[in-house]
């Protein structure tokens, strides 16, 4: 079957069939006629022919830091759902938090002619910028605010400031923080800064020893909480940069015979399944991860179509989900 034959059977022009397969405008009547013929004949346009004609591969490269992250999975779901409606497919590059692999995937995608790239990265270095400058296709960053780049990011600083202030309003006076390394700008540096600012604004003790930052994906929240409790056994509030770590922190406190939330109140980040699966259920910060993926994909589609963007940076909000760990 060819487009000419499809057009004859449907009683429409060749141009109408071409627009139908390329997501252009076609009246509902003609669209239904073409769809009926396609179903009856089983016709499928050749991807190779489409690529030669349109110079588009309908492939998007998506670079992610890790597969075992709830936040990453939700962002990818948002990306995938938005792109699939436009006939695009994604090629997933998992870096395992290895910056060198991020740079390598940018090179690979550039050499293999994807139509665009979406980068989920914990940091955007000079090397990242140089690699992105070499791309022959548009790129969108999700999760980081990056000056001069098209990006979708979260208000990590304000979210952590507000959830810390929430604990202070609940009566907490000696708080500790378990966070990521500062090399992870948003969920590391910005969340720590939000915690510190909340304590200072409330004129509460704020010592460096109250903050434990590191690779909390590999470290146990249980052991980190033990280390902090050995220094501050009068603590009454814990802010954790992830729900997974908060679960370990609660387990340690309970093993010490402390009651959460009566003796110590605990909050997390990410609104993961962990937050609802433990006792007590965890108060946590919910970010719009799927929305970030969808908005990042929509931004990239506009860039591919050379549609001018009203804004190159989109900051998304957050919500504090109150549960039993602070009640």
Q: Scanning the structure block, which residue is given the tokens 């991860």?
A: 289
| pLDDT per residue rounded down to tens, the chain (327 residues) | 788 888 899 999 988 888 888 777 889 999 999 989 988 888 776 654 555 455 567 999 999 998 878 889 999 999 999 999 888 999 999 998 888 999 999 999 988 889 999 999 878 889 999 999 999 899 999 999 888 889 999 999 999 999 999 999 999 999 999 998 877 777 889 999 999 999 999 999 999 999 998 776 667 889 999 999 999 999 999 999 999 899 999 999 999 999 999 999 999 999 988 888 899 999 999 999 999 999 999 999 999 988 877 668 999 999 999 999 999
Helical residues (DSSP H) of 85-220, grouped into ranges: 99-111, 126-133, 156-169, 191-201
C-alpha to C-alpha distance for 103 and 128, rounded to whole angstroms = 6
The model carries a pTM of: 0.80
Q: What is the pLDDT of residue 50?
A: 54
- Domains (range + CATH), the chain: 3-45 (no CATH), 56-154+289-317 (3.40.50.2300), 156-287 (3.40.50.2300)
Q: Scanning the structure block, which residue is given the tokens 């990818």?
A: 76
C-alpha to C-alpha distance for 217 and 97, rounded to whole angstroms = 11
């Amino acid at each position: 079957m060819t487009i000419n034959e499809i057009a004859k059977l449907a009683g429409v022009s060749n141009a109408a069939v071409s627009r139908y397969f390329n997501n252009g405008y076609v009246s509902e009547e003609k669209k239904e006629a073409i769809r009926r013929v396609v179903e009856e004949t089983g016709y499928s346009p050749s991807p190779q022919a489409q690529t030669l004609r349109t110079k588009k591969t309908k492939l998007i490269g998506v670079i992610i830091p890790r597969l075992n992250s709830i936040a990453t999975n939700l962002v990818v779901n948002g990306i995938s759902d938005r792109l699939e409606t436009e006939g695009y497919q994604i090629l997933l590059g998992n870096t395992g938090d290895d910056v060198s692999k991020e740079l390598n995937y940018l090179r690979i995608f550039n050499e293999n002619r994807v139509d665009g790239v979406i980068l989920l990265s914990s940091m955007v270095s000079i090397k990242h910028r140089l690699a992105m400058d070499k791309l022959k296709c548009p790129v969108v960053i999700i999760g980081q605010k990056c000056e001069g780049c098209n990006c979708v990011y979260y208000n990590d600083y304000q979210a952590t400031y507000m959830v810390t202030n929430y604990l202070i309003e609940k009566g907490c006076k000696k708080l500790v923080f378990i966070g990521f390394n500062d090399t992870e700008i948003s969920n590391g540096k910005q969340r720590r800064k939000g915690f510190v600012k909340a304590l200072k604004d409330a004129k509460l003790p704020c010592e460096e020893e109250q903050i434990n930052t590191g690779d909390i994906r590999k470290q146990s929240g249980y052991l980190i909480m033990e280390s902090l409790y050995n220094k501050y056994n009068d603590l009454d509030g814990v802010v954790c940069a992830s729900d997974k770590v908060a679960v370990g922190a609660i387990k340690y406190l309970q093993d010490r015979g402390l009651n959460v939330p009566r003796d110590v109140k605990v909050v997390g980040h990410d609104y993961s399944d962990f937050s609802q699966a433990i006792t007590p259920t965890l108060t946590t910060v919910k970010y719009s991860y799927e929305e970030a993926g969808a908005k990042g994909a929509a931004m990239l589609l506009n860039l591919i179509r050379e549609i001018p963007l009203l804004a190159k940076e989109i900051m998304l909000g957050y919500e504090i989900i109150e549960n039993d760990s602070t009640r």
